[in-house]
Amino acid sequence: MIPAIDPDRWEEVWAADLDVLRSLAEQGDRSEVPRLVDVSFRGSADALDRLQASAANFGFVIQSRDPNGPQEPWLFLERIQPIDLETMREFTMTYLQIEDSFGVECDGWGCVAQNGIGQ
């Protein structure tokens, strides 16, 4: 069963993600161009172990993991996708569901702006 996301939490997180998308657009990003998008999570080693084992179920591959991070262990996941609004709404919902399902905290996501001509 997929956990429901609190509407207030959704609005706060989605507003922050829209700020990132606006910033990318200001850099000339073409949101329809697929690119590598990464997302990082912090949490207990056990929770990150479970997430790492399940990452493919969410369409992600493992980028890197630091079991001895300066504060908490962290795990970077990544996948190739565009960053148009529809895709990013799904992406945001996915990482919020991962937080709730695995007891981890999303530490942010990122990608490089793409102008459609190799940059």
pLDDT tens sequence across 62-110: 998 886 656 788 999 999 999 999 999 999 999 999 999 999 999 999 9
Round to whole Å and give the CA distance between 63 and 94.
17
Is the pLDDT at 119 greater than 60, yes or no?
Answer: no
pLDDT of residue 87: 97
**Number of residues that this document lists for the chain:** 119
How sure is the predictor about 4, in pLDDT bands with cuts at 50, 70 and 90? confident
Round to whole Å and give the CA distance between 51 and 85.
25
Number of folded domains that form the chain: 1
Q: Which of 72, 61, 78, 70 is nearest to 104 (CA)?
A: 72
The residue behind tokens 């172990």 is 49
For residue 23, tell me if it sits in a domain.
no
Q: How far is C-alpha 29 from the geometric centre of its chain's CA atoms?
A: 18
Q: What's the domain range around 77?
A: 39-81+99-104
